[in-house]
Amino acid sequence: MAILPILKIGHPILARRAEPVINIDEEIVRLARDMIDTMHAAPGVGLAAPQVNVSRRLITVDLTIGENPEEIIVLINPEITEAEGEIREEEGCLSVPDVREQVTRPARVAVKGIGLDGNEEFFEARDTMARVFCHELDHLNGLFFIDHLSPLKKALIKKRMLKRLEKGELS
C-alpha cells in the first residue's frame, strides 16, 4: 500500500498513448492497489496509470471516494464500445490542479475491460460514471479534459499551469 506521486500536465508520459497490459502479474496488482490508495488520498474519483508515471492501460474508478469498497472498479485495457447522448458539466483533474471547466461528454457509455482476476468485465455507465470513464480513458490516450475545450482556452490553461510548475507551485 503506497501513495504515489501524481504527475502534472507538462510531463511527457501524460502526452502519449499508454501501452497495453500483457500479463496480470504481481506488479500490476500492486500498481492497481497503490493507484486506489493514491486516488482516495488525493481525493479523486478516478485515476489512470500514466498519472502515476506508469505507461500502461490501467484505470481505477470509485465514485464513493473510499466510502464503499465494493464499488471500486479496476479495469485493464479498457475500451469504450458505445457512446450516446451528450451532457455538459464541470470537470477537473488531479493532473491539472485547481482548474475546473465545462466539458461535453457522452451521457451514456458502454465500457469493457479486464479485471484483476483476468475476467472480462462490462459496464453500462451514465452521467457522472460515464464522464469518469471517458476522462480516464482520455489519459490512456495521452489526452486531458482541457483538450475538449476551445484551442484558445486550452492554450491559456496550459500556459498558466506550466508557469506554476516552473515556479514550483505544483509538486
Q: Which residues pair with 56 in a beta bridge?
A: 19
Q: How many CA atoms lie within 13 A of 47 on its CB side?
A: 31
Instruction: Say which of 86, 136, 166, 169 is annotated catalytic.
Output: 136
136 catalytic residue (yes or no)? yes
CA-angle at 57, arms to 52 and 58, nearest 5°: 65
**Long-range CB pairs of 25-30, under 8 A, 24+ apart, other chains included:** 28/56, 28/58, 28/76, 28/116, 29/116
Please give the C-alpha separations between residue 64 and each of 68, 69, 153, in angstroms, as whole numbers.
6, 8, 31
Cis? peptide before 151, omega within 30° of 0 = no
State the catalytic residues.
136
